């Protein structure tokens, strides 16, 4: 089997607990084939990439570089998170047009290419992850790399009409043609990519989702919906009831139905709209007062970006307002928690929640939706209320699908979920679980790597 090189902004080093399904998927792929994981060390140093940190763990090697504060600020906080992230999530109004960010982004990508080129051996498969590293393949090609290089975009890709809002969009996006394979979560994202290349970048379509770019390069794009480790999550949730945290949570609920949301604190996740829908539910259905509790777990992320600090303030206000208006001495309708929890605790919370409320305004896939479903008790499963604009909605069609901006629709779905009879809950859950078992994380990485190697 050919050796694999995984490239991503952050690297999950062996001593760190893998922070999510994605990190462990990459690790498994690397263990299976042997290979190397390359990326940023997570450390800010005086100088960028003074040295390459190398670490070996069995068949897997880790190679990371430090970045200077200035480089990191422009590359990560700047271009990746303040320019690309909002645009990719259909928020041109939040795009930061500072040109210094693009320069920093290209500088860091160049540096990645310079250091990586020394590590690539003939025949290696290279798998680059996410929007931080779009131009990396073209920079590797310029340095003579002929290996197969694949790219997976974890975010949505908006329609061409939006992508052109990005200054110098063609210079950046056309570099995608240097990859042999581009993977996206959904057919909608794939259509957007094809549309952009055909109508904005003079590419032509070739059979089998291949395209010939204006520069003559032929590349392929495909749909590879990311999954979770379904079996492991289900088992973890089954065992979770033994944990003290979960037992305490059960006791604190005093028999009330739990609605749960778990999201990075990010404006793409639709949290203010979600709080509003819950408030509307309390307003509309007094019979539910004291019978329901909404737990929103929202660990802060990207705290240096002003929009993230602003949304945090907004949610604190909104949660305070809801509790102020509806709480009783022995009942708080909303519990809003700004910290993160280990996965086994989360899966226990999912399992005791009657409703999983996952309502991003836009989301590449949304793994929380999948984890919620996989964590349910087959005999008494809860109901998933899911945004139509999450990639997961393409597969989990038996969720109650909603437009997250339409308060009444989300409120209706919440009410329906809370009152849904056991038989319907079971039927919906079985259908979704079947999908999750088939399209799990192993199927995802295998499909992508097979397509890249083919
Ligand atoms: C990007 C794309 C795409 C959350 N809170 C805690 C915690 N989590 C874990 C969840 C889940 C992961 O983080 C979040 O994944 P999502 O998919 O929901 O969202 P993003 O972070 O935005 O991920 C997304 C994904 O990439 C994969 O391609 O689906 O669309 O935006 O696994 O469980 N984990 C722990 N404590 C927490 O408090 N341990």
pLDDT tens readout for residues 200-241: 999 999 998 899 999 999 999 999 999 999 999 999 999 999
Provide the pLDDT confidence category of residue 306 given band limits of 50, 70 and 90. confident
Residue 19 has pLDDT above 90, yes or no: no
368 lines ligand 1 (CB under 6 A): yes
| Entry pTM | 0.97
Closest Cα to atom 33 of ligand 1: 368
Residue of 226, 274, 365 to test ligand 1 pocket, by largest number of atoms within 8 Å of CB: 365
Q: Do the two domains 4-227+441-453 and 230-438 of this chain adopt the same fold? A: yes
Question: Which residues on adjacent β-strands are paired with residue 260?
Answer: 295, 356
Secondary structure (DSSP) of 113-129: HHHHHTT--TT-EEEEE
341-354 pLDDT per residue, tens:
999 999 999 999 99
156 lines ligand 1 (CB under 6 A): no
Atom of ligand 1 lying closest to residue 365 CA: 29
CATH fold of 4-227+441-453 reads: Rossmann fold (3.40.50)
Atom of ligand 1 lying closest to residue 339 CA: 38
29-44 pLDDT per residue, tens:
999 999 999 999 999 9
Instruction: Write the burial class of residue 18 (CB in 10 Å: 0-12 exposed, 13-18 middle, 19+ buried).
Output: middle
pLDDT at 304: 86
Edge-to-edge order in the sheet of strand 35-45: 52-57, 60-68, 35-45, 4-10, 125-129, 148-152, 181-184, 218-223, 210-212, 204-206
Superfamily of domain 230-438: Glycogen Phosphorylase B; (3.40.50.2000)
pLDDT at 395: 98
Cα of 96 to ligand 1 centre, how many Å?
24
Atom of ligand 1 lying closest to residue 21 CA: 32
The tokens 């087959």 sit on which residue?
378
Provide the pLDDT confidence category of residue 369 given band limits of 50, 70 and 90. very high
Cα of 336 to ligand 1 centre, how many Å?
18
Residue 18 has pLDDT above 60, yes or no: no
User: Which residues contact residue 277 at a Cβ distance below 8 angstroms, ignoring those fewer than 6 apart?
Assistant: 359, 407, 410, 411, 414
232 lines ligand 1 (CB under 6 A): no
**Domain limits of the chain?**
4-227+441-453, 230-438
The CA distances from residue 125 to 63, 111, 128, 195, 449, in Å, are 16, 20, 10, 28, 8
pLDDT at 17: 63
Q: Which H helix or E strand runs over 322? A: helix 306-326
């Amino acid at each position: 089997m050919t050796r694999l090189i995984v490239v991503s902004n952050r690297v999950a080093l062996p001593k760190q607990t893998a922070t999510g399904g994605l990190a462990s998927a990459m690790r498994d792929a690397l263990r299976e084939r042997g290979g190397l994981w390359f990326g940023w060390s997570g450390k800010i140093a005086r100088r960028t990439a003074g040295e390459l940190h190398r670490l070996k763990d069995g068949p897997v090697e880790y190679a990371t570089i430090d970045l200077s504060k200035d480089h990191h600020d422009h590359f990560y906080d700047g271009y990746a998170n303040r320019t690309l992230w909002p645009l990719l999530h259909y928020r041109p109004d939040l795009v930061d047009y500072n040109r210094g960010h693009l320069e920093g982004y290209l500088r860091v990508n160049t540096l990645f290419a310079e250091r990586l080129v020394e590590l690539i051996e003939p025949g290696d498969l290279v798998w680059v992850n996410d929007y931080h590293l779009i131009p990396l393949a073209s920079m590797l090609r310029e340095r003579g790399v002929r290996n197969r290089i694949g790219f997976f975009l974890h975010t949505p890709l908006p329609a061409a009409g939006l992508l052109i809002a990005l200054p110098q969009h063609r210079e950046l996006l056309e570099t995608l043609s240097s990859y042999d394979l581009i993977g996206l979560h959904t057919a909608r994202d794939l259509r957007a990519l094809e549309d952009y290349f055909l109508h904005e970048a003079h590419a032509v379509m070739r059979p089998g989702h291949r395209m010939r770019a204006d520069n003559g390069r032929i590349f392929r794009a495909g749909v590879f919906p990311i999954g979770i480790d379904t079996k492991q999550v289900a088992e973890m949730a089954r065992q979770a009831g033994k944990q003290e945290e979960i037992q305490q949570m059960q006791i604190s609920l005093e028999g009330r139905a739990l609605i749960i949301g778990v999201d990075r604190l990010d404006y793409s996740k639709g949290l203010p709209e979600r709080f509003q829908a819950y408030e509307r539910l309390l307003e509309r259905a007094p019979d539910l007062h004291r019978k329901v509790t909404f737990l929103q777990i929202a660990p802060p992320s990207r705290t240096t970006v002003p929009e993230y600090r602003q949304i945090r303030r907004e949610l604190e206000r909104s949660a305070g307002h809801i509790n102020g208006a509806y709480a009783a001495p022995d009942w708080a309708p909303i519990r809003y928690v700004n910290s993160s929890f280990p996965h086994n605790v989360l899966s226990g919370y999912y399992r005791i929640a009657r409703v999983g409320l996952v309502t991003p305004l836009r989301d590449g896939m949304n793994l929380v939706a999948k984890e919620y479903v996989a964590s349910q008790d087959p005999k008494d499963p809860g109901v998933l209320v899911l945004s139509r604009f999450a990639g997961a909605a393409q597969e989990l069609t038996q969720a109650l699908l909603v437009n997250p901006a339409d308060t009444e629709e989300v409120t209706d779905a919440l009410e329906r979920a809370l009152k849904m009879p056991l038989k319907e809950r079971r039927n919906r859950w079985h259908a979704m679980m079947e999908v999750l078992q088939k399209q799990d994380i192993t199927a995802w990485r295998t499909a992508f790597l097979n397509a890249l190697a083919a």
